[in-house]
Copies of this chain bind each other. A is one copy, B any other.
């Protein structure tokens, strides 16, 4: 039997690249099918229409986005650094998410399809707060959002400066150091606060 999944796969990959580059409104169905070396009719058979194709792409990539960098509440600076590097190697992931934000989800939480992962991360932050490693005055959800956003300071979604792999390594090093240090300080418990161990 011909491998229908392979065609589907090529279409999804081509669509991911196209949507990342041009967004939903800017993406061209003909370009997608051409780049996938597949037929437009096939695209429509598999995915219904352009919007549902974007949904399929985004759902898959959201998985990717949430999981490329393993979350470690006990090492927020390390997490931020890993995110910085991920933005360099996988810029399209960030671009795709940004298009989704602008064109689909103007307010509220962007990804709601993986509540268990989110819960896990928040719980991990809570744990670290109880262990005296993260400032307990901050809401776990805010910590997560702020750390992540911090790491995106030089991402393709940045409104200031987007870093690329072509940048001098010295720039990357400077940013990584600044990022790690700032994250470490921002979320540590205030000086003089003793860890309570367990209550």
Using CB atoms and an 8 Å cutoff, list the residues of chain A in contact with chain B.
Answer: 22-26, 94-95, 97-99, 101-103, 105-110, 135, 137-139, 141-146, 148-150, 152-154, 156-164, 174-175, 178-179, 181-183, 185-188, 191
- Asked whether, in the complex, the Cβ of B139 is within 8 Å of the Cβ of A160, the reply is no
Total copies of this chain within the assembly: 2
Q: Report A161 CB to chain B, min CB distance, Å.
A: 5
Q: Given A101-B159, A148-B159, A156-B106, decide whether A142 and B174 contact each other with a Cβ distance below 8 A.
A: yes
Q: Report A72 CB to chain B, min CB distance, Å.
A: 18
| Nearest-neighbor residue (CB-CB) of A158 within chain B | B149
Interface of A is mostly: helix
From the candidates B102, B105, B185, B188, name the one contacting A95 in the complex (CB within 8 A).
B102
- Asked whether, in the complex, the Cβ of A102 is within 8 Å of the Cβ of B102, the reply is yes
Q: Report A150 CB to chain B, min CB distance, Å.
A: 6
CA of A143 to CA of B161 in the docked complex: distance in angstroms? Answer: 12
- Asked whether, in the complex, the Cβ of B161 is within 8 Å of the Cβ of A23, the reply is no
| Nearest-neighbor residue (CB-CB) of A166 within chain B | B107
List 9 A-B residue pairs with CB atoms under 8 Å apart, sorted by A's residue number: A22-B25, A23-B25, A101-B156, A101-B158, A106-B156, A107-B156, A143-B178, A149-B152, A149-B153
Q: Report A179 CB to chain B, min CB distance, Å.
A: 7
Chain B residues near A182 (CB-CB < 8 A): 138, 146, 186-187
Chain B residues near A108 (CB-CB < 8 A): 161-162, 164
- Asked whether, in the complex, the Cβ of B149 is within 8 Å of the Cβ of A109, the reply is no
Instruction: Apart from A99-B102, A183-B186, A185-B188, list 17 A-B contacts with CB within 8 A.
Output: A26-B103, A101-B156, A106-B156, A106-B162, A108-B161, A108-B164, A109-B161, A135-B181, A137-B181, A139-B174, A141-B161, A146-B178, A148-B159, A148-B160, A149-B160, A182-B186, A185-B185
- Asked whether, in the complex, the Cβ of B159 is within 8 Å of the Cβ of A110, the reply is yes
Chain B residues near A142 (CB-CB < 8 A): 153, 174-175, 178
